A and B are shown apart, each in its own frame.
Chain A
Amino acid sequence: MTSASLSNDPSTNLSNPRRERLQQLGRRALWRLAGGVLVLWAVATLTFFALRLMPGDPVLAILGGPSGNPTAETIAEATREYGLDKPLPVQYALYLGRLVQGDLGVSYSQHLPVTRVLAEQSWPTLELTFSSLALAWLLVLALTVLTAGRRRWVGKVASLAETLSAALPHFWLGILLLAVFAFGLRLFPPAGSDGWRTLVLPSFALAIPLAGFIAQVTRESLDLTLDQPFILTARTRGLSDFKVRFKHALRHAVLPGISLSGWAIGALISGAVVTEVIFSRKGLGRQLFQAVQAQDLPLTIGISLVVAAGYVLANILVDLLYLWVDPRQQGSAS
């Protein structure tokens, strides 16, 4: 979109570095989107065949799992009804055909259209992921930019805090937060997914380890950056320490952190599975966990696809952000 509208603009023929850069970013975004579609196809294919390799008959999953105890006729009927009697390649082709039309099928375990389940469950997870990422970056900036290159002990204490929080597994942190703030102090509800109060503890459980991770990398590069000649130049120009840190050093120092953020989205979604289970939150993570256990093929693929799509989109954004922050990467980008 961006690339097309920009190239129609006659003024792009003139060399305008900023516009050229935008155009390049747009082209890269399109290229990445096309790649993303391929990735989604691979995800759907992999998940489909992986789940069909699973031990156990999917028909039994449809008919209520191990406790269903269906008769032979019911099994035969359900097998026909869900098209499970056809050869696997045909099933795959049919599935893919429906997928292209946006039909994800009907969940085996919930007997609801998968798209409806996804629509219901996506928002709480999205909410959790974004609030955690934002919270994590807030903690990172507060910890690193303000403490890097200060007195030795300040750095030591901050660095210890980062190392410690990066080592905290979110399921343990989640349980501790639950024990202290929900059961002990009764400040926040222990379970549920309605309202911001239910979001606080899970967000912290996810954000604290992540912040520790990003902060370690950011601090290291910030320390290196603060020793660079251009920082000295900026200081000799009379810039305040605050400005030097936020306007000059940070731009260089956030690069490793930004590229970690792409990875972080994946880690957050992984973490969301555990966190949603602990806090009994609605969401894709818990739903996926249940779907895998119930051998709910359509729902599992559906959630995998949504997660993958979210991940692909987030990474395109991270990629563009990276290029934007560091123009030096441009040469190798296209």
Chain B
Amino acid sequence: MSELTLGTPLPAIRVQRTPRVWRVGPLLAVTFLLLVVIAAIVPQLFASSDPLAIVPRDAFHPPSWAHWFGTDQSGRDIFSRVIYGTRQSLFIGLAATAIAMSIAIVLGLLGGLGGARIDRGVGWLLEVLFAFPSLILALLFVAIFGSGIGPLIIATGLGGAPGYARMVRGQVLAVRNAGYIESAKALGHPPLRIIIRQLLPNAMRPLIVTLTMGVGQAIVWASALSFLGLGARPPAPEWGTMLSMGRDFIANAWWLTFFPGLFIVLTTLSTTVAGRYLQQRLEGRLS
């Protein structure tokens, strides 16, 4: 009992162990995202049946071996519909985030570097855009330009832009007077080069998490619009639309809403986890 020496001696310096949990998390996330991308490109690979084929006598089958996610009110296979819906949701999320970020970088740089007067102007513009909560902005936008994928993407992107712009502006202001910017100036680099090589990368780094989460959020917002009936038209396999249709049967057929929603959650979750991992790698504090 008193043989204390038998225990393995502790190392003098605690060795930084690589955490297994986070390694498994990003791996799962990236795998899922990869599968989602493949499903978006070649849905036939995963789904055997036609997402639009109606089999009325198979209506409301709960999940089974034949129909993994069950069938909906018209007997359509929900698994196939979810798989086929991947393309639209993913595309909407990426495109909307790209639009939002482009607007945000332009506005953020203008505000952060353009001097007091321009900054005030940008601030005011953002304030106006902010005063329309994203879904309301999108709602108005879709009402004017009609429902459909194009307006849906622009509406979602526009709704997200002010948030990113404010963050970019804040980051630009924070980074603007950093030592490396000073030294780049002292070295005589042209302003555009400093903006692209020093300012933007450093200003954007803390935003990577927000941005990757943003793709997921864009998918969520777009689904919300579809859920309200402003996106894809009902028979089309789209996650938000499927959720919206299943809502009427929630009391006795939960699988109609559960699985499309689950895929929205898993996609959002994966983008977040992958983005976080990316940030840790970029910041070199993977410990």
Contacts and interface: CB of A to CB of B under 8 A. Distances in A.
A171 B227 contact: yes
A51 B227 contact: no
A278 B250 CA distance: 11
Nearest to A53: B144
B250 A179 contact: yes
A332 B128 contact: no
B180 interface: no
A123 to B, nearest CB: 18
A169 B166 CA distance: 23
Contact of A175 (B135, B220, B243, B276): B243
B235 interface: no
Interface stretch (B48-56, B195-203, B261-269): B261-269
A217 B221 CA distance: 20
Given A51-B144, A179-B250, A266 B133 contact: yes
A168 B146 CA distance: 28
Given A179-B250, A315-B130, A332-B173, A169 B143 contact: no
A269 interface: yes
A311 B273 contact: no
A46 B250 contact: no
Interface in A158-179: 163-164, 166-172, 175-176, 178-179
Determine chain A's interface SS by DSSP, over half rule: helix
Classify chain B's interface size.
35 or more
Contacts of A42: 128, 131
B169 to A, nearest CB: 12
Contacts of B128: 39, 42-43, 46
Contacts of B166: 263
Contacts of B135: 269-271, 273-274
B227 A183 contact: no
B127 A163 contact: no
Interface in A297-312: 300, 304, 307-308, 311-312
B265 A54 contact: no
B124 interface: yes
Interface of A: 35-36, 38-40, 42-43, 46-47, 50-51, 53-55, 152, 156, 163-164, 166-172, 175-176, 178-179, 183, 213, 216, 263, 265-267, 269-271, 273-274, 277-278, 288-289, 292-293, 295, 300, 304, 307-308, 311-312, 315, 332
Given A51-B140, A277-B228, 5 more contacts: A51-B144, A171-B227, A175-B261, A179-B251, A311-B130
11 contacts: A50-B140, A167-B216, A167-B266, A175-B243, A175-B250, A183-B250, A263-B163, A270-B135, A270-B159, A270-B221, A312-B127
Please give me the 10 A-B residue pairs with the lowest Cβ-Cβ distance, nearest first: A270-B135, A172-B261, A308-B131, A167-B268, A266-B133, A167-B269, A269-B133, A270-B133, A169-B220, A42-B128
